[in-house]
């Protein structure tokens, strides 16, 4: 920053322009973190415009979680090499925070969209839609009744979500395999899944195609009761199973007080329906 005439400014003026509270500036002076350029005989503190650069760095590092002591030590020993190393390290911190915030926003948007969609759902109707391919994170393969899922699967999937920097409570669903659907069995779980783009695991997808969509009110362990109705509907309309079924709760414990009132959406991947 260029040197200007009458460069000194009062603590009040510096506080206003830097948006750092006056009390904070006094505290920083007292602990030796950031001192004024000049202190008058009457004790008034004065700062220079060039000090905006330093207070800006202090603000950024503090926002990124550095302690005031670590910032003070850095400022006392700063050099091009140490500054470069610290900036690269903080760059990684920022990237991680961006990744976490991106997924937090995605979770919020996904939940909001699900709730908004659920407000107009008629659980007595079934529809066929064309679904674009959607990226997802998938658990390891299992073949277990939804009532007997082991804790190891749940814990492992939560660890996978954490590795992807997904926030706690990220929406998760269940996949019913094609082979079980062909046997008219809606109870056996093949995978847990969440809709997200992965960075640390193999990227899986919900395939593009046609899906028979059904809804029902049920607790987490009771969704299999909708499958007999789905199989009957598919037989009546001559729909053919092409792939897996994806279960996703649009209204869960975040929205509803009573588990029996949760709303689940089941999407069965089917062959393209014959045109009538």
DSSP for 48-108 reads: -TTHHHHHHHHHHHHHTT--HHHHHHHHHH--HHHHHHHHHHHHHHHHHHHHHHHHHHHHH
Whole-angstrom distance, CA of residue 42 vs CA of residue 51: 22
Class of domain 9-77: mainly alpha
Give the residues across from 144 on adjacent strands. 189
Answer whether 9-77 and 102-270 agree in fold.
no
Instruction: Using the CB atoms, write b or e for 134-144: b if 16+ within 10 Å.
Output: eebbbbeebee
pTM, two decimals, is 0.75
Whole-angstrom distance, CA of residue 105 vs CA of residue 77: 39
* Kind and range of the H or E run holding 157: helix 151-163
* Kind and range of the H or E run holding 251: strand 241-251
Token output for 250: 């649009």
Domain boundaries, the chain: 9-77, 102-270
The residue behind tokens 């009457």 is 42
What distance, in Å, lies between the first and last C-alpha atoms of the chain? 74
Whole-angstrom distance, CA of residue 252 vs CA of residue 231: 25
Class of domain 102-270: alpha beta
From first to last of the 276 residues of the chain, give the pLDDT tens digit. 444 446 789 999 999 999 999 999 999 999 999 999 999 999 999 999 889 989 988 988 888 788 999 999 888 888 889 888 888 888 888 888 898 898 999 899 989 999 998 998 999 999 999 999 999 999 999 999 988 888 899 999 999 999 999 998 899 999 999 999 999 999 999 999 999 999 999 999 999 999 999 999 999 888 999 999 999 999 999 999 999 999 999 998 888 889 999 999 999 999 999 876
């Amino acid at each position: 920053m260029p040197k200007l005439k009458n460069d000194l400014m009062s603590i009040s003026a510096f506080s206003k322009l830097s948006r750092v509270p006056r009390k904070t500036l006094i505290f920083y002076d007292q602990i030796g973190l950031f001192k004024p350029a000049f202190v008058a005989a009457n004790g008034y503190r004065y700062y220079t415009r060039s000090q905006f650069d330093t207070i800006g760095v202090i603000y950024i590092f503090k926002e990124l979680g550095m302690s005031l002591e670590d910032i003070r030590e850095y400022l006392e020993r700063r050099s091009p090499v140490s500054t470069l190393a610290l900036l690269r390290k903080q760059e990684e911190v920022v990237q991680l925070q961006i990744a976490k915030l991106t997924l937090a926003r995605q979770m919020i948007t996904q939940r909001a969209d699900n709730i908004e969609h659920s407000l107009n759902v008629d659980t007595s109707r079934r529809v066929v839609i064309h679904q674009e391919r959607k990226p997802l994170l998938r658990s390891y393969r299992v073949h277990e009744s939804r009532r007997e899922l082991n804790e190891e699967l749940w814990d492992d999937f939560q660890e996978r979500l954490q590795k992807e920097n997904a926030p706690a409570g990220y929406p998760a669903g269940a996949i019913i395999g094609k082979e079980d659907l062909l046997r008219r069995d809606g109870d056996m779980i093949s995978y847990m899944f969440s809709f997200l783009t992965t960075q640390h695991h193999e990227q899986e997808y919900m395939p593009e195609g046609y899906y028979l969509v059904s809804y029902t009110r049920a607790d987490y362990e009771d969704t299999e009761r909708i499958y007999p109705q789905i199989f009957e509907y598919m037989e009546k309309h001559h729909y053919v199973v092409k792939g897996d079924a994806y279960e996703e709760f649009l209204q869960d414990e975040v929205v509803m007080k009573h588990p029996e009132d949760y709303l689940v959406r089941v999407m069965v991947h089917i062959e393209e329906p014959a045109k009538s």
